[in-house]
Amino acid sequence: MLILAEGRLGVFSSKTAVCLLRYRADEVVAVLDSTRAGASTAEVLSMDVERPIVGTVDEAMEHGPDTLVIGIAPRGGGLPADWRAVILAAIARGLDVVSGLHVLLGDDPELAARARERGVELVDLRRPPAHLRLPRERHEPHPGRRPLVLLTVGSDCNVGKMTAAVELVRAAERRGVRAALAASGQTGILVAGAGIAIDRVVADFMAGATEQLVEDQRNVDCVVVEGQGSLTHPAYSGVALAILHGARPDGLVICHHVGRTEIDGYGVPIPGPAALRAMYEQAAAWVQPLRTIGFALNGHGASRNAFEDYVARVERETGLSAVDPLTDSDRLIEAALTLAAVPRGGI
Amino acid sequence: MLILAEGRLGVFSSKTAVCLLRYRADEVVAVLDSTRAGASTAEVLSMDVERPIVGTVDEAMEHGPDTLVIGIAPRGGGLPADWRAVILAAIARGLDVVSGLHVLLGDDPELAARARERGVELVDLRRPPAHLRLPRERHEPHPGRRPLVLLTVGSDCNVGKMTAAVELVRAAERRGVRAALAASGQTGILVAGAGIAIDRVVADFMAGATEQLVEDQRNVDCVVVEGQGSLTHPAYSGVALAILHGARPDGLVICHHVGRTEIDGYGVPIPGPAALRAMYEQAAAWVQPLRTIGFALNGHGASRNAFEDYVARVERETGLSAVDPLTDSDRLIEAALTLAAVPRGGI
């Protein structure tokens, strides 16, 4: 993969690029950002995966990509004019193009025609499934035994809900529990290889699509649903609530970026740990009660002291654990498994 | 208008038919429901508007319709096969067709081709506007002076949020206040003549579309936004929250159908008046606090005693008024106007 992150390569500004470098590094050959060309990913992103940063599709070709992945999303999801030129260049070079934009590339007449001529594929991660439905009513039969369902929710967008979900699945698997990621956004879908972008479905079908996403995970004992947005987010609170009610989780993991005090762009104050927990538990209980398992903290840019202070605050206010999911998800899974009699390997 | 309500004509089973007969009676010539053909609307719906009920489009033609309005919605919003035959018959007879279904008639190749041949129009009330956006961020300029914004919310679907909103606009106008209905669903759009079906937009844009809907109401001092669903509804809670946060109302009117104790089809218990109020006020305050004005009660099918008992319970638990919006919306508007210095006619 060649990842497009034009003008935006950074830990918080190009989430897809960072997650692909973290979870599918073997498949990434280069990153395209002309403003950083010549630098390396290790340097720009302070991570230990080293890949070249190039300025054009042509330059990237020496690294042998077969796919261009659009690793950034403009606010509102449109297709900026200069990206179109990059996509056309990639198609001309015979690359498939994978996109998580709201604007579906496959529905764009020019891009679709060029892709057809060149015999390459346009993959729209946010394209909703052809058949969506409402959640099952009380009288409708449910499919067999339900796995333990966990959901990652957040204090804002872009705080680490997807990363926490991936790490919880890995931690469960390390304990011998058959687990799956139910990916609800474009980056999660790239990491999991499947999923439904809940923010892209017709509004009436959000909860039903989330139920469907959970039920699509077969032959596992634990499903971790990637949450979206936040109940306090003026633009995306509705998506967050629909996923909370549609997933009907047994347990929640609350994700927060240490040091963030208000919703990015909107200035709405982010509640403290006890209030965040109460908010999510109350909102869930409007339909079905659940328990909070713990907090997953993103410490990027925060001092060690600030991180430890927030961990102590969570423990003091809620009695729950707060961990960095990249290193300590095992503690959260341990707590989650006490919620249900989930079969564990070797026991 | 000829209203299609096949097999479903009733107060709760064909909301659009009832509302058009209540608010646009002069334009309704007949109702199509073959299971009730020969009966009259006054009889079936216990209302004083008398229109013939016919069994086919052909029979309806003697009453001179120029438009077929689809006045019922199948669960999930699809197009049942037998309705297609009715729509084709209407097109063949030269009628325009107005639809609030999720399935957009204009995008159906067969229907679109027939309509084009016959020179009639297919109007999809739920078709989203071409340009949707997110809510304005803090740094983005807002348009001029903001009117008083009221929102009707509910304890379930189909309890009277749209009717309450229409009646609140009328009550405001009776007091000389320039008021407008911001219609968020297909029936409201039919009554108001404009609006955005928020449940039909791409999920990410629900709150932005609601903000846009409020801002589209020009030269008025009071905007009443029609709410959708309920925060306790397993399928539609996300739409309800997005409208609550996107409209940023000053005041809420909570709508309830007296005697209903659980969410239709899902069995989720409906909270009592104080808990409903607390739920909506808390959820609003995650983004911006507001005040509850009062309750609008739908008494259909309830005894006079049951209605009065619920009114007394609202007053005891919340100190607020509960009224039948069809007869007593003036009391709610009176309370709402104390929220803001809204210019009143003649004072």
Most A-contacting residue of B245, B262, B280, B288 (CB-CB within 10 A), to test interface: B245
pTM of the shown model = 0.92
Per-residue model confidence (pLDDT) at position B344: 44
User: Each residue of A284-303: pLDDT tens digit?
Assistant: 999 999 999 999 999 999 99
For B144, half-sphere exposure in the C-beta direction (CA atoms, 13 angstrom radius) is: 8
Q: Are B28 and B83 in contact (CB under 8 A)?
A: no
Most A-contacting residue of B241, B248, B288 (CB-CB within 10 A), to test interface: B241
* A113/chain B closest Cα distance in angstroms: 22
Q: A102 to chain B: which residues are within 8 Å by CB?
A: 202, 204
Q: Which positions ≥6 away from A32 have C-beta within 8 Å? A: A2, A3, A4, A5, A6, A53, A54, A55, A56, A57, A60, A68, A86
* A269/chain B closest Cα distance in angstroms: 8
User: Each residue of B27-48: pLDDT tens digit?
Assistant: 999 999 999 999 989 989 888 8
Rg (CA), chain B: 20
Interchain CB distance below 8 Å, B286 and A201: no
Q: Are A142 and A309 in contact (CB under 8 A)?
A: no
ipTM rounded to 2 decimals: 0.92
CA distances from A336 to A77, A330, B131, B197 (A): 35, 10, 43, 40
Mean pLDDT of B230-251: 97
Q: Are B187 and B199 in contact (CB under 8 A)?
A: no
pLDDT band at residue B145 using 50, 70 and 90 as cut-offs: confident
Interchain CB distance below 8 Å, A200 and B204: yes
Q: Are A99 and A125 in contact (CB under 8 A)?
A: yes
Per-residue model confidence (pLDDT) at position B299: 95
Length of chain A: 347
Per-residue model confidence (pLDDT) at position B33: 94
Per-residue model confidence (pLDDT) at position B76: 60
- Alpha carbons B3 and B70: distance in angstroms, whole number: 6
- Alpha carbons B252 and B103: distance in angstroms, whole number: 31
Q: Tell me the β-bridge partners of A248.
A: none
- Minimum Cα–Cα distance from B262: chain A residue: A287
Interchain CB distance below 8 Å, B134 and A245: no
User: Each residue of A151-185: pLDDT tens digit?
Assistant: 999 999 999 999 999 999 999 999 999 999 999 99
Residue B198 phi, psi dihedral angles, 5° rounding? -65, -30
At residue A1, what is the residue type?
M
Per-residue model confidence (pLDDT) at position A101: 87
Per-residue model confidence (pLDDT) at position B272: 98
Which of A278, A205, A213, A88 lies closest to B236, judged by CA?
A205
Angle, vertex CA A76, rays to CA B214 and CA A8, nearest 5? 145
Interchain CB distance below 8 Å, A207 and B279: no
Interchain CB distance below 8 Å, B134 and A198: no
- Alpha carbons A293 and A40: distance in angstroms, whole number: 38
Q: Which positions ≥6 away from B146 have C-beta within 8 Å? A: none
Q: Assess whether pLDDT exceeds 70 at residue A77.
A: no
| Out of B232, B239, B265, closest to residue A203 by CB | B239
Give the number of other CB atoms < 10 A from CB of residue B342: 20
Cα B298 off chain centre by? 14
